[in-house]
Amino acid sequence: MSDEQPFIHPYIPNSVPEVKERMLQEIGVRSIDELYADIPERLRFAGRMNLPEPLVSEAALKRHVEKILSRNRSCAESLSFLGGGCWPHYVPAVCDEINRRSEFLTAYAGEPYEDHGRFQSLFEYESMMAELLDMDVVNVPTFDWCQAASTSIRMAGRITKRYEALVCDTIGPDRLQVMQNYCRGMMSIVPVRHDAVTGLMDLNDLAARFTESTAAVYFENPSYLGFLETQGHQIAAIAHARGGLSVVGVDPISLGVIAPPSHYGADIICGDVQPLGVHMNFGGGQGGFIATRDEEKFVMEYPSRLFGIAKTAVEGEWGFGDVAYDRTSFGVREKGKEFVGTAAALWGITAGVYLALMGPQGMEDIGRHILQKSQYAMKKIGGIAGVRTPRFQSAHFKEFVVDFTSTGKTVAEINEALLDRGIFGGKDLNGDFPELANHALYCVTEVHTKEDIDTLVGALEEVLR
């Protein structure tokens, strides 16, 4: 294609020379270049961007990109037991149908009039999450669990006017890193030890570290390592007795069978909506939620949008809008609470669709299903000679640590051999936790059949023979 020919790309209508000409006339200039008069020569980029020739035909573009993508081997083509912050769950077709609708997919920041649907669906998301969490306030989603936990801790710092957070040392490495960067210079993140046998928080260590500077204690249910923290009440009691808050991260898909943290004293709850109807997307499906009681001192510390319901000029008509907008950085820039902007709204809408489909019985069913499947997997994997699981002697949900120390093989070697058999083994914990050098984190959900688990066990036996 020569530069003399007009370049009329399907995405750019006004490249048509006659149209362009007419618009230039209307503006009163001879060329588009005149419109750039404010950019001085010294700031002009004189060269050419070294980009590949354009794939102007959609067919050629599709072929090109699909060829690259063909070098991926996805979990749909394999048997995967990976979790660790991004989990395989069944995604109902209606979830995809809704989040692929142009009206939602391509919308952004319309007013609560022409974008009434966005406001209502996110209000309903907040409302259904509130039922699941048994809390009265839930935000429009932030980026992911990492961000939700980081913001929860900063909220706790502002509410208590203290600058330190105690964090369970079984937290996942990504989450800890995000938290540390987000709090750096403003709040310190202090680890609390876990019991070597059960994995549960060491309450003596917690009590010893809890000082007058401690804003909150943060733990997770299930933990990153899959076990359930059963001492929620005691942890909250220690925090509350000393003027601090209890902040709990939770996997929402467990809450049909597991008590929500609000039932054991949590003041702020956070977590990720990805399990609720969002594909894994190579880690792109995450969306963070934060929930609290409906108390002004909590609500006013959210940085997020909070969509509330309202009346309109017409009797019986619902409207929606921003609650307490002036606490946000949109309202008052650096004087607002942290910052707000684009995050993961579409995944919030999707999670709402998921909860509406599942209903109370569906959430109980899936929770029970995951318990049964993961317990079966633990039992069978634990039955392999030299393999120990669960590594922590506690109740688990969905994920569990497998100890391969006595097998004489490293997790890397085992996973390599499993891969040859079409299986993605659990996440190698080597490097993440010093005591878990030759351990792996396995994830089993409702997407796994008994046959899948038996296949894994058979392959492991073969590999470890």
Q: How far is the CB of 367 from other proteins (least distance, A)?
A: 8
One-letter amino acid at 256 equals G
Q: How far is the CB of 207 from other proteins (least distance, A)?
A: 20
Q: How far is the CB of 446 from other proteins (least distance, A)?
A: 5
Q: Exposed, middle or buried, 209 (CB in 10 Å: 0-12/13-18/19+)? A: middle
Q: How many Cα neighbours within 13 Å face the side chain of 112?
A: 19
Q: Which stretch binds other proteins (CB under 8 A): 193-201, 212-220, 240-248, 256-264?
A: 256-264
What DSSP line would sit under 314-359, residue for residue? Answer: STT-EEEEETTGGGSHHHHGGGSSS------HHHHHHHHHHHHHHH
Q: Which residues contact 20 (CB under 8 A, 6 or more apart)?
A: 14, 32
How many Å apart are CA 69 and CA 391, to the nearest integer?
A: 37
Q: Does 199 bind other proteins (CB under 8 A)?
A: no
**Between 130 and 190, CB nearer to other proteins:** 130
In the list 190, 259, 417, 437, the residue contacting other proteins (rule: CB under 8 A) is 259
In the list 162, 194, 391, 427, the residue contacting other proteins (rule: CB under 8 A) is 427
SS3 at position 221: strand
In the list 39, 197, 208, 241, the residue contacting other proteins (rule: CB under 8 A) is 39
Q: Does 124 bind other proteins (CB under 8 A)?
A: yes
Residue 157 has a CB neighbour count (10 Å cut-off) of 22
Q: Which stretch binds other proteins (CB under 8 A): 72-80, 188-196, 202-210, 399-407?
A: 72-80
Q: Does 106 bind other proteins (CB under 8 A)?
A: yes
SS3 at position 190: strand
Structure tokens at 357: 């489909």
Per-residue interface string for the shown chain with other proteins, residues 311-340, x marking contact by CB under 8 A: xxxx-xxxxxxxxxxx--xxxxxxxx-xxx
Q: Does 358 bind other proteins (CB under 8 A)?
A: yes
Q: Does 223 bind other proteins (CB under 8 A)?
A: no
One-letter amino acid at 152 equals S
Please answer whether residues 387 and 381 qualify as being in contact, where contact means their C-beta atoms are separated by less than 8 angstroms: yes
Please answer whether residues 417 and 440 qualify as being in contact, where contact means their C-beta atoms are separated by less than 8 angstroms: no
Q: Does 385 bind other proteins (CB under 8 A)?
A: no
Residue count at the site for other proteins (CB under 8 A)?
A: 221
Q: Does 420 bind other proteins (CB under 8 A)?
A: no
Q: How many Cα neighbours within 13 Å face the side chain of 48?
A: 5
Q: Does 407 bind other proteins (CB under 8 A)?
A: no
Structure tokens at 188: 């310190």
Q: Does 383 bind other proteins (CB under 8 A)?
A: no
**Between 376 and 437, CB nearer to other proteins:** 376
Backbone conformation region of residue 158, classed left if phi is above 0, alpha if psi is from -120 to 50, else beta: alpha
Q: How far is the CB of 238 from other proteins (least distance, A)?
A: 16
Q: Does 446 bind other proteins (CB under 8 A)?
A: yes
Q: Exposed, middle or buried, 69 (CB in 10 Å: 0-12/13-18/19+)? A: exposed
Q: Does 197 bind other proteins (CB under 8 A)?
A: no
**Between 74 and 406, CB nearer to other proteins:** 74
Q: Does 415 bind other proteins (CB under 8 A)?
A: yes
Q: Does 115 bind other proteins (CB under 8 A)?
A: yes
Give residues 287-306 in contact with other proteins (rule: CB under 8 A): 287, 294, 296, 299, 305-306
Q: Which stretch binds other proteins (CB under 8 A): 18-26, 193-201, 208-216, 456-464?
A: 18-26
Please report, in angstroms and rounded to a whole number, the separation of the first and last CA atoms in the chain: 61
